[in-house]
A and B are shown apart, each in its own frame.
Chain A
Amino acid sequence: MIDTLEKYILNPIKHLVIGLWHFIRFVPMKLYEFFKKTPPFVIIKTLASSLIWGTGQFLNRQFIKGIIFLLLFAGILGIEFGTGAYGHEFDIYDDKIPGEEITVELSNYYPTWYYYNLKALNPTSDYAYEDFDLLHDVAESNNLTFSENDLVFYDDDGKVVQVDNVTYTPEHMFAFLGTEIARIEQIAFDDGIAAIEDEAATKADAAVLNIVEDLLLERAERDVRLNSDYASNLQTEMERIATIELVDDGFDPNAPTFDDTLQTYIDDNLGTLQTEAFDNLVAEQYDVVYATDYEQVNRQTRSIYYSGYFNDFFDELYGDELLTYDSIGSFKDMLQTRLISQGLDMDNDDYNKMLAHIFFEYNPELYGTITERVNNFYHERAGFFVKGTWGLITMGSIPQTTLYQHQKIGFLLPASGTETIQASTIELAGHHSTQLLLRGIISTLVIAYILILYVWNIKDAYKTGMIEHNTKKVPSEKSYFKDLYEDFFEYIVLTPALIIVTFVSILPILFGILVAFTNYNIEHIPPGQLIQWVGFRNFLEVFTLTSGSSINFGGQFWKVFSWTLIWAFFATFTCFFGGFVQAVILNNKRVVFRKAWRGILILPWAVPALISQMIFRVVFNDNGYVNQILGRIGVNTILENWGLLGRSFQDAGSGLQRLLYLGEDSIQWLSNEANPWFVRIFLIILNIWLGFPFFMALMSGVMTSIDKSLYEAASIDGATGFQQFRFITMPLVLFATSPLLIMTFSGNFNNFGVIYFITGGGPGGGTYETAYAGSTDILISWIYKLTTDPNIRWYSMASVFSILIFLIIGTLSAWNFTQTRAFKEVD
């Protein structure tokens, strides 16, 4: 142990410290030596190559090499500039808002359409406009003038230009509409928007009141109907109404025949009387309900409906007002006409993009803020390497932005019978932290490989330079490439495996490790939210028993961890010694047809573990086969008499009583929430079934291979059978198989299947309080839950636990590995 410690820990540290000291001491000296022995021209070549790849090689007159390096260099720069958009001007419409921009054809159509509908030109038109602002704007944008008297466009030379020949770009149209809306707002709403807000509020109040009244009425009706005296109340009321009506008709209510008249009258008019009487009762009850329930119903209804109504009314009033103006109204008409007559080829995204565009013209301030917010140089324009590095460092700075303001001018949208066109929020993609992180790692890995090439390039320039300096001859490139192929055969063969391992194994592992240092959890899921670096906070949380964060991972970790250790230890040793005992029995000379017995006993190993684990889940189900058998042969009754069964789990008691609690109606092998230790121990026992055959087969193999002469010699010396077993078989077998103990231990430490398929980590678990860990969850199955359950998704902690597992298992395996032959093979 001390030796190992010294060899693998103390010595490396010693060497490191000495090395560092030498490094510090010798750096100036080495540098001095380097410059002394290197001629300036070689230094220039080396420097040249370190700035622009391949230039040093050119200076060495090695042109093929130079071209190759230069091409590589150009390729790398090409990747950066090709994937980036340097110099590109940010355009929120092109870069951020989904959907297609509307066509010039459409914007061109707007003034044309307007022009031909002018009242002055076409008095019978359905749309008769008399406002010329739009046409002035069109003229201005085409450097023309529009004459309101002649209703024609003139160019600078005074020539008439047909409206069909003028163009109107979407940008101009949007700008016009935006400013027009702002202008109309000013003139139309004297008191600003406040006036229509008040009106909308009044209307919304009325609408809410309507609902409240309906609800109260419903309650009143229900009360009346459910009243236990409903029938007699109704009768009394009907009689009252009938009496009044009869009296009105001149009957004398005090006449002795009146009762009969009344009865006849009621029978004749039963339908109407009933309705009337019921309404009266309800009206009476309504006042009662109103007095008691109004406050509460009103509050609830308001909270649900008011803002919706308010917005609707506001939009309606606002939109209605704006649409009365020619410029705005005609725009909507045009869209509507085009949509119906030609079926505008625009989807909802396109319409909303158009709205956003107009709205930004109307409210340039908002445009400024939003643009400034989403326009990030690194994210929008940087190339593969720069963006990757930035992403790795920051993981993005802007979350997804929701643009909703443009819905205010949703009244512009045409109504279509077939498809729903409506103003809806627009998601402006923000920075997707996980993707940025992933890209960051990829670019870092690529940079690492490029650095290897870079160093090689510099070294080559230096070396060739020195050779030329020393021998006055340029080395032949042909032989260089031949040697290169010979030397590089290994690397060429390794490349495919290297690439796949880098990107499918190393990359995800690096990602996983980095996630442990972030706050990537259900509260921070891209693209909605950003992820941030949090340093070692997650690790600290594990060591803080009462956690500051929302879920108590710290306290739970140690519980799960200790159970994992107990589990791994017992699962390993029970199978190891179980297998050993079984191998001894199987190899007893009394056993005939050993191969057949062995064939049966090895079945649990041969049947895929996953399948047997699932079978156990079924067989030991609460009402599974085992419990049915136990119930049938009366074991349950016996257990009930002993008090081990029959109590509900709330009455499980505490202490020993609880540890003896097996279940309520039958033994809860896998789901005994009151007595998790029972389930845990049971799992260890079940695992023997799964695990002993492997050791049995292995050890009986070792036993048959033990040299027979050992036993003969022992029996000549008078050793008994037991002594032979004790001093020959046991030590040899255990010694030969003990290296497997560590492997099995780590296997069991991460034995996901046994836990997940048999108990699913339960009993218990799935709640906040236990940080989602069930009673039998070991670390690995807990991590699985934290990672894959869409309602949990606590990736950061899952990563932390994975790293801790790696540290534990990695250390164990590494130590185990140093004990094996393979370790020497590495050297």
Chain B
Amino acid sequence: MVVRALLIYLSLVLLFTHQSLTAGIAARKGYNKTKAGFIGLIPIFGLIYYLKVEAIRQINPTAIKKLLGIKNIIGTLAIFAELVLLAFIVLVPIVYTIGTSLSPTSGILNTIWPTEPSLINYKFLLTGSRELGGRELTTDFVNWYWNTLQVAFLTMIGAVLFVTGTAYVFARYKFKGKKAGLLTILVLQMFPTFLSLIAIFTLFQTFGLTNEPKALVIIYVAGGIPFNIWLIKGYLMNIPKELDESAKIDGANKIQIFFKIILPLSVPIISFVAVTQFMAPWMDYILPSFLIIDSEKWTLAVGIFDFINDPGDTNYPAFAAAAMIVAVPITILYVAFQRYLIEGITAGANKG
């Protein structure tokens, strides 16, 4: 097994080195690098093909020689040795989780892929029950999903409603207490959630809100206000003030300016806030685990963790399947929008 893994590894390293050299030569000879990249995936042929073809632009013969020099080849090998290894490290846990989610038993899968893959775990999660070894297993996964979806949706709406106008006022107008307000917001953000946990619990108890997932919305919305205000405010300040002023001259009042000018221009940042607020409840564990007791009222994070944390009733494949259902959409979204998200986080850091 070790030998097989090593062989796969070595051949991949060689293949990519080969591809890199091929693409390098193709580029020197003036060919399209992407196409060369694909042809470079055909071992040996690719390299020979591009060594043979005519250059379509003037080339310096020493450049190609240098490219095929021992120093460059070792460098390329080293780079791909690292990249392939890292890709392995990154992918193995992920692939293993996919594999586990397809495993028909409820124990730990001890190969990376099950011998008899089945979709039974997904079916189990969606139908809520399953027979295993003469025992009836049940789950409230669908409830958790529905609860989380509701909370996420309401949080998104609440956040946008509460934040947009506030950020507009902070970005555009001067008024007494503005500085104090902004600084308060900043300070609020620095308190750990736990400080308010007991009070929130007591408050919820007083108003009979414990065990009610939708009540979490209030906390998520309020908790998100400071950061989101800063975010939107920062964005709005980059919209030229002249736009407001010309509208003002045309007789628009503050509300009209907001709805007719500011709002249409800030759609990107509002969408960003909406999406991040929508995501937050999916991955929050602390609040729902503390405030919601009944298992059918949990949100996903609490429910999923329970699959592997409940000492009497661990179900790794169900956990893996649930993780897949939750993580795949989010992961795709993140990969697709990575540039904006990373910029958003960085902007947040720079703006506090």
Contact = CB atoms under 8 A, between A and B. Distances in A.
Interface in A372-429: none
B194 A810 contact: no
Nearest to B180: A826
10 contacts: A497-B163, A500-B218, A504-B219, A508-B197, A509-B196, A592-B19, A592-B20, A606-B334, A628-B110, A750-B192
A507 B207 CA distance: 15
B141 interface: no
A601 interface: yes
B183 A826 contact: yes
Contacts of A817: 186, 352
Contacts of B289: 788
Given A438-B206, A505-B188, A701 B1 contact: no
Nearest to B87: A600
B168 A493 contact: yes
A29 to B, nearest CB: 27
B143 to A, nearest CB: 19
Nearest to B234: A822
B330 interface: yes
B338 A606 contact: yes
A787 B75 contact: no
A603 interface: yes
Interface string B280-295: 0011011001100000
Interface stretch (A236-244, A559-567, A664-672, A801-809): A801-809
Interface string A504-540: 1111111111010000100000000000000000000
Nearest to A504: B222
Interface string A776-814: 000010011001100000010011001101100110011
Given A512-B198, A588-B79, A813-B190, A608 B87 contact: no
B227 to A, nearest CB: 12
Interface in A626-640: 628, 632-633
B12 interface: no
Nearest to A624: B108
A820 B108 contact: no
Contact of B203 (A438, A496, A603, A740): A438
Interface stretch (B91-99, B128-136, B146-154, B262-270): B91-99
A806 B323 CA distance: 33
B195 A500 contact: no
B110 A602 contact: no
A111 B114 CA distance: 83
A820 B351 contact: yes
Contacts of B166: 493-494, 497
Interface in B298-316: 301, 304-305, 308-309, 316
Contacts of B331: 603, 606-608
Given A508-B195, A826-B179, A614 B91 contact: no
B160 to A, nearest CB: 12
Contacts of A505: 188, 196, 222-223, 225-226
Most buried by B among A435, A600, A624: A600
Interface string A55-97: 0000000000000000000000000000000000000000000
A606 B330 contact: yes
A810 B219 CA distance: 21
Given A615-B93, A619-B96, A813-B190, A501 B225 contact: yes
A788 B197 CA distance: 9
Interface in B167-221: 168-169, 173, 175, 179, 181-183, 185-188, 190-192, 194-200, 202-203, 206, 218-219, 221
Nearest to A812: B190
A621 B109 CA distance: 12
A572 interface: no
Contacts of B179: 826-827
B221 A601 contact: no
Interface string A437-480: 01000000000000000000000000000000000000000000
A752 B192 CA distance: 11
A603 B304 contact: no
A610 B108 contact: no
Interface string A578-599: 0000100110101111000101
Interface string A737-758: 0011001000000101100110
B282 A608 contact: yes
Contacts of B86: 582, 601
Nearest to B17: A590
Contacts of B327: 607-608, 611
B349 A739 contact: yes
A770 B346 CA distance: 39
Contact of A822 (B112, B194, B352): B352
A113 interface: no
A750 B125 CA distance: 33
Given A592-B37, A788-B290, A608 B89 contact: no
Contacts of A701: 339, 342
A684 B109 CA distance: 26
Contacts of B351: 820-822, 825
B48 interface: no
Contacts of A608: 282-283, 326-327, 330-331
A689 B200 CA distance: 34
Contacts of B338: 602, 605-606, 697
B194 A625 contact: no
A810 B184 CA distance: 12
A508 to B, nearest CB: 3
A625 B185 CA distance: 46
Nearest to B206: A435
A125 to B, nearest CB: 52
B254 interface: yes
B162 A496 contact: yes
A590 B17 CA distance: 9
Given A504-B200, A625-B96, 20 more contacts: A490-B173, A493-B168, A500-B225, A501-B185, A505-B222, A592-B20, A606-B335, A607-B331, A610-B305, A611-B323, A621-B108, A625-B109, A628-B110, A632-B1, A701-B342, A809-B192, A814-B186, A825-B234, A825-B237, A826-B182
A257 B330 CA distance: 100
A489 B19 CA distance: 64
Contact of A740 (B37, B96, B349): B349
A810 B87 CA distance: 37
Given A494-B166, A783-B192, A616 B93 contact: yes
A294 interface: no
B352 A799 contact: no
Nearest to B345: A694
B90 interface: yes
B40 A592 contact: yes
A585 B20 CA distance: 14
Contacts of A826: 179, 182-183
Given A493-B165, A593-B37, A784-B286, A501 B188 contact: yes
Interface in A697-712: 697-698, 701
Contact of A787 (B223, B290, B326, B350): B290
B144 interface: no
Contacts of A611: 304, 323, 326-327
A44 interface: no
Given A802-B192, A802-B194, A605 B87 contact: no
A609 interface: yes
A21 interface: no
A494 B195 contact: no
B108 A623 contact: yes
Contacts of B316: 618
Interface string B76-113: 10010011001101110110110010000000111010
Contacts of A694: 342, 345
A490 B166 CA distance: 8
Nearest to A500: B222
B175 A618 contact: no
A491 interface: yes
Q: Which 5 A-B pairs have the closest CB atoms?
A: A508-B196, A511-B199, A512-B195, A606-B334, A504-B222
